[in-house]
Structure 1
Amino acid sequence: MSFPLFPVQASTQAMRTDHIFFWLVFISGMIVVLVFGLIFTFSFRYRNGSSAQRGELPEWVSHDFEIGWTTATFFLFLFVAWWTAASSLGALTPSKSGLQIHVVAKQWMWKTQHPNGAREINALHVPVGEPVTLLMTSQDVIHSFFAPQFRIKKDVLPGRYTDAWFQATTTGTFHLFCTQLCGTEHARMIGDIVAMTPGDYARWSAAQPQADDVASIGASLFRSLGCSGCHAENSAVHAPPLAGLYGRPVRLSDGRTVTADDAYLRDSILRPGSDIVDGYENIMPSFAGLIGDDEIFALTAYIRSLADHPKESGR
Structure 2
Amino acid sequence: MSWFTAFPATSSFMPIQATEIAKEVDLLYAFLLVSSLVSFVILVGGMTWFLIKFKRTSVDQKSAYITHNNFAEFLWSFIPLVIMVGIFYWGMVIFEKLRVPPENISTEIHVTAEQWAWTYRYANGKEFYSSANDPLIVPAGKATKIILTSKDVIHSFFVPAFRVKQDAIPGKYTQVWFEPKEPGNFIVFCTEYCGTKHSGMLITIKALPADEFAAWFHAEKKGAETPADKGKTLFAQKACASCHSLDGSRVVGPSMKGLFGSSRKFTDGSGAKADETYLRESILVSTAKIVEGYPPAMPVFQGQLSDEDVENLIEYIKTIK
Q: Show the counterpart of 2:42.
A: 34
Shift of 1:207: 3.6
Q: Which amino acid aligns with 2:37?
A: G
Q: Show the counterpart of 1:8.
A: 16
Change (3 A) 1:72 1:233: closer
Is 1:294 equivalent to 2:288 in the alignment? no
CA distance in 1 between counterparts of 2:246 and 2:126 reads: 32
Change (3 A) 1:143 1:233: closer
CA distance in 2 between counterparts of 1:96 and 1:236 reads: 29
CA distance in 1 between counterparts of 2:269 and 2:46 reads: 59
Q: For residues 76-95 of structure 1, what are the alpha-carbon distances to aligned partners after superposition, in whole Å with 9 as ceiling and x for unaligned?
A: 21111112212331111122
Q: Show the counterpart of 2:4.
A: none
CA distance in 1 between counterparts of 2:294 and 2:94 reads: 42
Q: TM-score, normalised by structure 1?
A: 0.89
SS in 2 for 1:104: strand
Name which of structure 1's ranges 198-207 and 145-154 shifts more when overlaid on structure 2. 198-207
Q: Show the counterpart of 1:137.
A: 149
Q: Which amino acid aligns with 1:238?
A: V
Q: CA contact under 8 A between 2:56 and 2:63: conserved in structure 1?
A: no
CA distance in 2 between counterparts of 1:136 and 1:96 reads: 19
Shift of 1:237: 6.2
Q: Which residues of 2 match residues 54-65 of structure 1 at below 5 A?
A: 54=65, 61-65=68-72
Change (3 A) 1:188 1:280: same
Give aligned-pair identity as a percent: 32
- Comparing both chains, which one has the higher relative contact order based on Cα–Cα distances under 8 Å and sequence gaps of 6 or more? 1
Q: Which amino acid aligns with 1:38?
A: G
* RMSD, aligned α-carbons: 2.2
Shift of 1:241: 1.1
Q: Show the counterpart of 1:158.
A: 170
Is 1:109 equivalent to 2:125 in the alignment? no
Name which of structure 1's ranges 45-54 and 222-231 shifts more when overlaid on structure 2. 45-54
Q: For residues 73-130 of structure 1, what are the alpha-carbon distances to aligned partners after superposition, in whole Å with 9 as ceiling and x for unaligned?
A: 2222111111221233111112232211111111211111122222211231001110
Q: Show the counterpart of 2:202.
A: 190
Is 1:223 equivalent to 2:223 in the alignment? no
CA distance in 2 between counterparts of 1:62 and 1:107 reads: 62
Q: Which residues of 2 match residues 74-113 of structure 1 at below 5 A?
A: 74-97=81-104, 98-113=106-121
Q: Which amino acid aligns with 1:166?
A: F
Runs of at least 4 residues of structure 1 off by over 4 A? Answer: 49-54, 233-237
Change (3 A) 1:253 1:88: closer
Change (3 A) 1:34 1:273: same
SS in 2 for 1:120: strand
**Structure 2 unaligned residues grouped into runs of 5+:** 1-7
Q: CA contact under 8 A between 1:101 and 1:112: conserved in structure 2?
A: yes
Count of paired positions:
303
Q: Which residues of 2 match residues 65-76 of structure 1 at below 5 A?
A: 65-76=72-83
